[in-house]
Amino acid sequence: MRATPKPTALHQVRTAVLANMRPGLVLWSGLVLLLLAYLWSPAVQSGLTQWGMLKQAWGYPGSFVTYAAFAVLVPELLAWAVLRQPVPRTIARDMAFAIVVFGLIGISVDVLYSVQVALFGSGNDAATIVKKMLFDQFVYSPVSNFVMVAVFLWKDEGFRTSTLRTLASGDFWSRRYLPVIIAVWCVWGPGVLVIYFMPTALQFPVASLILSFWILIFKFMRQI
């Protein structure tokens, strides 16, 4: 029997684009609603402003807690309550690890927004938004998502040092990393535009909402 050929990088890209098409459309629709709510609802503006002030008061610990909550706790709790997903026996260990990882990512995102203000200013004109979007998607995101994928692979392989060899393999780059970064580019492009349209103090809260919504969409799409 002939061995099944491994999918090419181009096939992986196509598969990732198609896999993210439906969740992307749902997320983009939600982004339109969020933007309209911000523009037209004083209550939404006030709520986001209060959240932004609270996050600024707490600094980086606030960034850690916010991202950990919206990337891990909120999606998992809703998945159990709404989607009736089974609770694995390793849930406490898995969630603790994910909380640490996404909490640290939250701090890095907070640093990213501060760096972008220093580099490009705090305006929301078209030129500034485009500069920030390009820096976000093609400088920060490739690095941060590589670290995230690598760290979770390291955990899945039992925290073995041999994982370092895996990270240098073409299989890792084509099958694990490439679909993730394609998903980020497909889905997060419009989301990043919305984030950088917001005042600087509101960018982190809006990013947290979008992240949580994105994770929930993927959890739901896997059920249908």
> Residue type for 166, please?
T
The answer to the question of residue 91 being in a domain is yes
Residue with the two structure tokens 């849930």: 91
Answer yes or no: is 105 within a domain.
yes
In percent, the amount of the chain with pLDDT more than 70 equals: 80
Tell me, what's the pLDDT at 9?
A: 54
Residue 100's pLDDT is 94
Domain that holds residue 81: 58-221
Residue 1 confidence (pLDDT) above 50? no
> pLDDT tier at 209 (50, 70, 90 boundaries)?
confident
Domain count, the chain: 1
Least confident of 3-17, 20-34, 62-76, 152-166: 3-17
Specify if 21 maps to a domain: no
Asked if residue 47 is part of any domain, the answer here is: no
Domain assignment present for residue 216? The answer is yes
pLDDT, greater one: 42 or 111: 111
Whether residue 15 contacts residue 179, with contact meaning beta carbons closer than 8 Å, is answered with yes
